[in-house]
A and B are shown apart, each in its own frame.
Chain A
Amino acid sequence: MKVIYTDVLVIGGGLAGLRIAIGARRRGHDAIVLSLVPPKRSHSAAAQGGMQASLGNVIKGQGDNEDVHFEDTVRGSDWGADQQVVRMFVNTAPKAVRELAAWGVPWSRVRQGDREVIINGQKVTITERAEAHGLVAQRDFGGTKKWRTCYVSDGTGHAMLFAVGDQAIASGVPVHERKEAVALIHDGSRCYGAVVRDLMTGELTAYVARATAIATGGAGRVYRVTTNAVICEGIGAALALETGAAALGNMEAVQFHPTGIFPAGILVTEGCRGDGGLLRDANGHRFMPDYEPEKKELASRDVVSRRMEEHIRKGHGAKSRFGEHLWLDITLLGRRHIEHNLREVKEICQYFLGVDPAEKWIAVRPAQHYTMGGVRTKHTGESPTLRGLFAAGEAACWDMHGFNRLGGNSVAETVVAGMIVGEFIADFIESPQGELDIPTALIREALAAERARLDGLLAGSGTERAEALKAEMQQIMTDKVGIFRTGADLEEAVQRLQGLLVRSRNIGLRTHSDGPNPELVTAYRTQKMLKVALCIAHGALTRTESRGAHFREDHPRRDDAQWLKRTLATWKGADDTLPSLAYEPLDVLSMELPPGWRGYGAKDYVDHPDTARRAEELTRLRERLQGADRHAVQAGIMPYDHLLPERFRGRNERIDERLP
């Protein structure tokens, strides 16, 4: 029996996972990162446009601060987010940018003086302040009141991932590449690590750890049309789900990005619209102002994606042999801007569409992009139901995005959650709870169970083809569990997915090698992906309202009275074909920002009975705190500072808000 012991086992080598490992190392603990691929190839690298942090350096960001970022994020979430977690996040994001700056990220910087920008289709001259010269610059993104998105041209995630990846090497963090966790080791109440398969040799090893962190990213590949990398298959979420103890939160909350290039689904950044790009229909008409006069192209992603599909349904889509699409026009930004600030976009258009975006429009249509749901955790990143299991980043639901995430908040979350959860993991390890007292039989049994499962696939007489089951699942998800959802479609989806799950228990292989065997990998992952897909579809079927990215045509209103609650999915029995759903209510009476209109999108919703009471309470509180500074007012309404790890507390300095 091969066993490796460590303090922290991090599953996933993207930004969140690497940052957790660095944090643990800096607190004097050992950490091992498992990664399916070399860590610098993780999907974090695909974040193009930037990360939100309220530095307020550019003139269009003046006046920005944590309060504004907080409100934008909560509105974006359609009030699904945990507001204390959002507060923790917005206060740490500026620190994360500054840490990354010190680590060498070549953030694009402010240049003092006049510059020409495109706002609402018009050329406008803005003047940057002398005192901002050389500080980290911000661009505009959807759903934000201020220019807040810090960026490195349009290769932000790449630059961040390489800086953090190199810091991990500098800190001596071992990354075990091409290793895949196939099951968590646990006894129903405590997680002890994972059974890990070597993708090059097929060997199984037990990694036994005092704390285990899932940082495996999203589940986009359960859909056919997605911007996600091929490794984003939701396996981390499935590992947690298969424990029967840990829960997945809000899996039905799935984001569709407005500008996937058509038909390949490859992302072009929201920065295209943030920098002034427009959406046009088959006739060249700029249609977003017709639907969203306030925010136009820069409403939140869920709203823009829905409006685009609505416009196509009305017959205004451009037709091609692959189906209908719309156009993204960035020609008005000019060649210099595109070749400077949108160069990845330019390369992608050139290689995949054969188009120069400085001259021609880009064929786009919404594509699955982000998994708001994930392993349900407390604000510390730890599962409330499986001690010693942590999760961070897109794989987690701690829950800062609610039912829709703002652009630029995801890559920001990876590093912020990595910082915060890394500290809490170190605290956990240093506490009595973090002691490891695992019976060796538990390890042996976990290894034996996985060995038997793999041998069953390798030597078994199954007749189903994993690849075919996976393709059918992806088609069902894209067709029936997409942007517009109905009870009938979702019911059909759940039924068909259940059928696929049953059939997936009878997969047969053509390749019987236990070494590098892509067919075997597809087989065991498909079994897991189907469970995740069922959590999404079943959660969507049951939630009879529309909130954020979850839109039910048969229940088009947001219903706070019935549905201001988080879905929790667990998988009780190995032979089950459906997750068990439970609900966790959100407490309106402790909210800093009670539910209301988002400032874009639908204006009618059903109020929660507590909303009016909380609003009155807040008015009284604010009156009482009149004259106090904004930090004192905030602390009087919804304190959160005590929730943060000590080293990340404290105010953030800005040009207009100097620290003593």
Chain B
Amino acid sequence: MSDTAPAPFATAAATASGPARKLRFHVLRHDPHDPASVPHTDVFEIDEAAGMTLFIALNEIREQLDASLAFDFVCRAGICGSCGMVINGRPGLACRTLTQDLPSEITLAPLPAFELIADLSVNTGKWMRGMSERLETWVHSLEQDVDLRRIEAPMDPDLADRIYELDRCIECGCCVAACGTARMREDFVGAVGLNKIARFALDPRDARTDEDFYELVGNDDGVFGCMTLLGCHDVCPKALPLQTQIAFLRRKMARTGAGG
């Protein structure tokens, strides 16, 4: 191959556009710690910029218009799951949502189903820790102390890839916010929980049996609570195969529940 190749240039950053749009953000505000606070909507208007994401827009609003606006970002690259919020009615990651893909009227609300901290900030961490403790989302190994000096146990390369496919969940909470059952059943483990059970059931390093998993999710707060509306599948920012995994797990659990 030659050392100089014709340039397949990306054009997104290079193209000039017309005059900047005015964006109007309708943001649901509330501080539950402040007894005087009443949930309400504030409207903020800013000029759109090229390549603007909701991360950039919200920071601009906070810097220039309202220093008290609360929201959560960490990686701002779509990998940490901090910034789930309801964007024009749909749960998604704010950091990687480009304003150019939205109309000029933008409505932002905190994810439902989680404890509200303030404004757009919700306590997904507490919810996820509770789910992890309940479902014991770690490898339950038979071997207590592995000899770390020895060559690791082999694993089929395809199986490792399949486990990673489910391991990609970032616990952003979008699936829970989009879930009909989660609205009705406070203790429903959500697609995030069911996906984790599917992940550990697939992992040969985890010694738990189908009966063990049945104890964890073989009920209406688990896989039998799912109404198959599959909002989770539609909104998952990591495009996890939630539909397949939930169907697979339900069949497996139904079989286990029926006694094999």
What is A's interface to B at a CB cutoff of 8 Å?
37-43, 45-46, 55, 94-95, 97-99, 101-104, 106-111, 121-122, 133-137, 152-153, 155, 158-159, 162-163, 166-167, 169-170, 175, 177-178, 200-201, 229-231, 262-264, 266-267, 280, 282-286, 289, 318, 320-322, 327, 329, 331-332, 340, 344, 347-348, 351-355, 359-363, 467, 509-511, 513, 515-519, 648, 650-655, 659
Contacts and interface: CB of A to CB of B under 8 A. Distances in A.
Given A133-B154, A178-B125, A511 B68 contact: yes
B164 A159 contact: yes
Contacts of A650: 149
Nearest to B206: A104
A467 B62 CA distance: 10
Give the one of A106, A229, A648 with max B CB within 10 A: A106
B74 A332 contact: no
Interface string B73-115: 1111111111000000000000010100000000000000000
Contacts of A153: 161, 164
11 contacts: A37-B74, A103-B138, A137-B157, A155-B167, A175-B129, A200-B117, A229-B76, A280-B5, A284-B6, A332-B1, A355-B10
Interface string B151-173: 11111110011011001101100
Given A155-B168, A169-B138, A347-B78, A283 B4 contact: yes
A263 B81 CA distance: 22
Contacts of A38: 82, 124-125, 128-129, 171
A515 B138 CA distance: 35
Contacts of B67: 467, 509-511, 518-519
Contacts of B148: 94-95, 98-99, 648
B3 interface: yes
B125 A37 contact: yes
B164 A43 contact: no
A354 B123 CA distance: 31
B82 A37 contact: yes
Contacts of B8: 331, 359-361
A487 B199 CA distance: 55
Contacts of B164: 106, 108, 152-153, 155, 159
Contacts of B133: 169
Given A285-B4, A353-B10, A516 B121 contact: yes
Interface stretch (B11-19, B228-236, B244-252): B11-19
A35 B5 CA distance: 47
A135 B160 contact: no
Contacts of B68: 510-511, 513, 517-519
Given A46-B77, A353-B10, A362-B10, A518 B167 contact: no
Given A109-B160, A354-B12, A517-B68, A266 B76 contact: yes
Given A153-B164, A353-B12, A355-B12, A166 B152 contact: no
A267 B80 CA distance: 13
A268 to B, nearest CB: 10
Contact of B151 (A135, A137, A200, A327): A135
B198 interface: no
Given A155-B79, A162-B167, A175-B129, 5 more contacts: A102-B152, A104-B206, A122-B1, A169-B132, A518-B67
Given A266-B77, A516-B118, A655-B151, A40 B128 contact: yes
Contact of A516 (B70, B129, B132): B70
A251 B50 CA distance: 35
B63 interface: yes
A332 B3 CA distance: 12
A40 B154 CA distance: 27
Contact of A108 (B123, B143, B160): B160
A134 B156 contact: yes
A262 B151 CA distance: 41
Q: 5 closest A-B pairs (Cβ-Cβ)?
A: A38-B125, A134-B154, A104-B139, A95-B148, A354-B12
A110 B157 contact: yes
Contact of B138 (A152, A167, A282, A511): A167
A286 B4 contact: yes
A515 B8 CA distance: 51
B51 interface: yes
A298 to B, nearest CB: 16
Given A98-B150, A159-B167, A41 B81 contact: yes
A110 B148 CA distance: 19
Nearest to A132: B154
Nearest to A13: B125
Contacts of A201: 33
B221 interface: no
Contacts of A360: 8-10
B210 interface: no
A170 B1 contact: no
A230 B76 contact: yes
A41 B33 contact: no
B157 A111 contact: yes
Interface string B200-218: 1001011000000000000
B31 A321 contact: no
Given A37-B74, A46-B77, A170 B82 contact: no
Contacts of A41: 74-75, 80-82, 125
Nearest to B13: A320
B108 to A, nearest CB: 16
Contacts of B73: 230
B20 interface: no
